[in-house]
Chains A and B, each alone.
Chain A
Amino acid sequence: MTGAEDPFWTDLIAAGVGMLAAVALSLGLLVLLVSLPYVGVRALAVLWRREWIPLVYNLRSLGRRRLMTLTTALVLAVVVFVLTAVLMLALGIEHTLASTGNPRNVKLIDENALSEWTSWVDSEQLPALGTLPGLARDPAGNPLLSPEMVVLIWAPRQGAVDADDGANLSVRGVQPVAFEVHPTRGLRGARFQPGTNQIVIGKALVGRFAGAELGGSMSFADRDWRVVGVLDHGGTAHDSEIWGDVEVMAPTFRRGYSTVTLTLDERADVVAVSAALGQNPDLSRLLAKREVEYWRALSENYVGFVRLLGSVVTVIFSFGAILGALNTMYAQVAARTREIGTLRAIGFKPRAVLTSLLAESVLLALAAGSVGVLAASLLGRMTFQLTTVQTLSEITYGFHLSPVLALGCLGFAGLMGYAGGLLPAWRASRLPIVEAVRAN
């Protein structure tokens, strides 16, 4: 299928397949949509008149064909597991990056810069920044304004055998005020002493890179840096960073400040900061972004990719699962023809049979779905490392499960059960009694 070949035939096949798939999908959706009021009215009638078939009948039936029930449930559980896990991964990336920002913080960044490490802020601009409106202040009355220098460095992994085994990490040169602007959750060891080659590292780096431990020594920019503290930022992107004194680091890297992060007091907002920047010709080159937005934007493309991939795969997966459920329920109906006939003969209405079998399929799917979601929730303790084109540095992420996500995935499981059970249940409800009781 290279461009060298005539793409006519593949295009023709693609168009044909696409149309077939579209027709099949829309037919399926149409059947599902049309069936909802049909089934809904009957289910309500069954509930209203208290003429349902006892649920224990369904449970016993499922129990009688244990192997078949289990394989179907396993298929459904695996599908739900994959869906949940992929969405947790996407949400984890988004959550890690979005929670890196403090909602009250604003990041000032060069308007041409795509990211912190390509941004430049002149030190002559700093005094003027101190007069911006709405700055929060520490008890001593100093503004919470943190000029920072961000560079990427190459760090070899712990126990690396060859020189290429490593990753890029973010190094953030800061002043002591940074610890107020980016409140941390905890600190093992001590903060760096200004004017020295001491550094503090995020907890996600510990043990993963050469020298990255309390009392260790990391080497980058042709110098050795002593690790005197390990910071806990609560699972954010800062946990994958190295912090040191900007006055020492700036000359070492021959680089000035990259960005400035401000903390605003409760009443101020980013719009006022932007307006103030625009009025001062010396500062108009700076762009004020909410810190949360800056980090979230870094996650956007990658998260979009993972989500899209996850949904496409899940749609294909769920086709397989629905077909499996369909097969199982058809077999259940076929094997229980005589039972269903008997139920009808002793007075249960067709709608009771329909509701009962559909409930059986949906409940089976929900049970399997719960197993899948539960299994995926175990991933919540796991972390993974990624270097994306947006961050360029390696950041440690965690899987993240939200209640909405868990409920959504369970709902999806229920939907698969419904789709798989609909046609067999409908057929069962329309079996002629006389023939059904005679079947073997």
Chain B
Amino acid sequence: MTPSRPLGRLVLRLALRNRGRTLISVLGVGVTLLAFLVLRTLVTSWYTVNTDISKSDQLEMRHKISISFVLWRRMADKVRSIPGVQQVSAMLWFSGYYKDEKTRFGQLAVEEPYFEIFPEYLAPPEQMAAYFEDMSGALVGEELANKYGWKLGDRITLTGTIYQGDWPLNLRAIYRGESKSTDRARLFLHYKHVAPEGEHSHRLMVKADPTAAKKIDALFANTDTPTKTESVLSVERSWASWSSAVISAINIAAALILLILILVLGNAMAMAARESLREYATLRAIGYRSRHILALVLAEGFFVAGLGIVLALAVAPATLRAFAKLMEEQLGGTWQLYLDGGTVTLAVGTALLASLIACSVPAWRSSRLRVVEALREIA
């Protein structure tokens, strides 16, 4: 006997028998999985550690003794003379705000070579030319431009904190970013504009062979500004590691969600199986094997879980967008939360595994029922 075809229809019938509970279970799976997706996306986008090969030649120089000490801009000339070094740019954190003290975003005052070191922040050539031409020009990421509705040529006035006063800037260029992991919410302005007579630089950004880092540090080792040079990648990694407590808390919460998913679905499937005892017994009586019953319960569980997964995936992008907006309104800053393939795969994979665990007990129990007793008990 090969009851494979009617089995599919049976699953559907059984699942739709108690529609209220099936709906509740689907919602339960969907909602918990949605929470999982939100949390995992938050973790992956927290400090986007871009592991592209292209980044290994991006180095960051800072004062060795303290991260809050500044470097000299003139040090750039010495660094340029080191073999393996291609470009050097000074960089200041402008740290201003836009209109309201709460609206802050990354604002970097840089020199022209910066965009050869970080080609990911590149706008169309004619826009870049216009930006380089205009001393009070600004280059912003498309995310930021969309958020505040800025168009090319607009005047953006920032209020400085470190560099006091109002700073009217002309929007000359908008960059799109190479990949999703590029921060598309930055504003660049000219170093010369912020500090026309400036001698300081918070950091020096260098495009060089990674092995040049040691040579750079050796060059300044015995001066009054000893330096520490490392790749931008490892600076980002350090920041991520310093937040590891919160990140692991989020990860633990994500793991607990899976536990909730297992319990909610397992509970629902146990109830469904209990209610369907008479059907299972009848099926067994007309020749279905216990393995068919096992498959039947599992299939019903996966049917419910699958609907839940589809629901969660359909709603996730919108939820992430709303969540990002909420964060921006409450905390300021710019939040880029996008679902990526890895997160989706992980979520679907773990959800399916969780469903398997959740349904295995009721499925196994139902498959082992004693037909005669079950029929008698119910009658």
Contact = CB atoms under 8 A, between A and B. Distances in A.
B32 A308 contact: no
Contacts of A118: 68, 162
Interface of A, secondary structure class, is helix
A386 B245 contact: yes
Contacts of A317: 32, 35, 257, 260
Contact of A320 (B20, B28, B234, B250): B28
B327 A305 contact: yes
Contacts of A330: 20-21, 24
Interface in B310-354: 314-315, 317-319, 321-323, 326-327, 330-332, 338-339
B253 A220 contact: no
Nearest to B242: A387
Interface string B63-94: 01111110000000000000000000000000
A384 B245 contact: yes
Contacts of A309: 42, 250
Contacts of A2: 180, 338
A82 B250 contact: no
Interface in A37-82: 67-68, 71-72, 74-75, 78-79, 81-82
B264 interface: yes
A308 B330 contact: yes
Given A3-B176, A13-B314, A86-B253, A327 B263 contact: no
Interface in A112-131: 112, 114, 117-118
A363 interface: no
Given A253-B66, A305-B327, A4 B31 contact: no
Interface stretch (A147-155, A187-195, A226-234): A147-155
B31 A68 contact: no
Given A75-B260, A151-B68, A13 B317 contact: yes
Contacts of B332: 301
Nearest to B235: A164
A67 B39 CA distance: 30
Given A82-B253, A164-B230, A313-B253, A1 B338 contact: yes
Interface in B14-73: 20-21, 24-25, 27-28, 31-32, 34-35, 38-39, 42, 64-69
A387 B21 CA distance: 46
B226 interface: yes
B2 interface: no
B27 A323 contact: yes
A207 interface: no
A112 B162 contact: yes
Contacts of B331: 301, 304-305, 308
B224 interface: yes
Contacts of B338: 1-2
A78 B260 contact: yes
B318 A18 contact: yes
A221 interface: yes
B224 A17 contact: no
B328 to A, nearest CB: 11
A312 B323 contact: yes
Given A4-B176, A10-B321, A306-B246, A75 B68 contact: no
A364 to B, nearest CB: 13
A14 interface: yes
A38 to B, nearest CB: 22
A168 B67 contact: yes
B271 A320 contact: no
A328 B339 CA distance: 33
A392 B68 contact: yes
Nearest to B330: A308
A9 to B, nearest CB: 10
A432 B260 CA distance: 35
B35 A114 contact: no
A438 interface: no
B263 A74 contact: yes
B129 interface: no
B260 A321 contact: yes
Given A3-B143, A68-B271, A17 B315 contact: yes
B236 to A, nearest CB: 12
Interface in A284-339: 301, 304-306, 308-309, 312-313, 316-317, 319-321, 323-324, 326-328, 330-331
B256 interface: yes
Contacts of A117: 66, 68
Q: Which of A114, A305, A313, A319 has the most CB of B within 10 A?
A: A313
Contacts of B169: none
Interface string A371-397: 000000000000011111000101000
B66 A151 contact: yes
A266 interface: no
B211 interface: no
A167 interface: yes
A89 interface: yes
A222 B242 contact: no
A327 B28 contact: yes
A85 to B, nearest CB: 8
Contacts of B266: 71
B142 A324 contact: no
B72 to A, nearest CB: 13
A117 B162 CA distance: 13
B207 interface: no
Contact of A67 (B230, B268, B270, B321): B270
B4 interface: no
A331 B268 CA distance: 9
Contact of A114 (B42, B161, B261): B161
A254 interface: yes
Contact of B24 (A220, A316, A323, A386): A323
Contacts of A18: 318, 322
Given A17-B319, A152-B67, A167 B242 contact: yes
Given A82-B256, A306-B246, A17 B318 contact: yes
B66 A152 contact: yes
A312 B142 contact: no
B259 interface: yes
Given A316-B35, A324-B264, A331-B21, 17 more contacts: A17-B319, A74-B263, A75-B264, A152-B66, A152-B68, A154-B64, A154-B66, A164-B230, A253-B65, A301-B331, A306-B246, A309-B42, A312-B323, A313-B35, A384-B245, A386-B245, A387-B242
6 contacts: A14-B317, A75-B267, A306-B246, A320-B31, A323-B24, A387-B242
Interface of B: 20-21, 24-25, 27-28, 31-32, 34-35, 38-39, 42, 64-69, 95, 142-143, 146, 161-162, 164, 176, 180, 184, 224, 226, 228, 230, 234, 237-239, 242-243, 245-246, 249-250, 253, 256-257, 259-261, 263-264, 266-268, 270-271, 314-315, 317-319, 321-323, 326-327, 330-332, 338-339
- 10 closest A-B pairs by beta carbon, nearest first, are A387-B242, A14-B318, A384-B245, A316-B35, A323-B28, A320-B32, A17-B318, A319-B31, A324-B264, A117-B68
Interface of A: 1-4, 10, 13-14, 16-18, 67-68, 71-72, 74-75, 78-79, 81-82, 85-86, 89, 112, 114, 117-118, 151-154, 164, 167-168, 220-222, 253-254, 301, 304-306, 308-309, 312-313, 316-317, 319-321, 323-324, 326-328, 330-331, 384-388, 392, 394
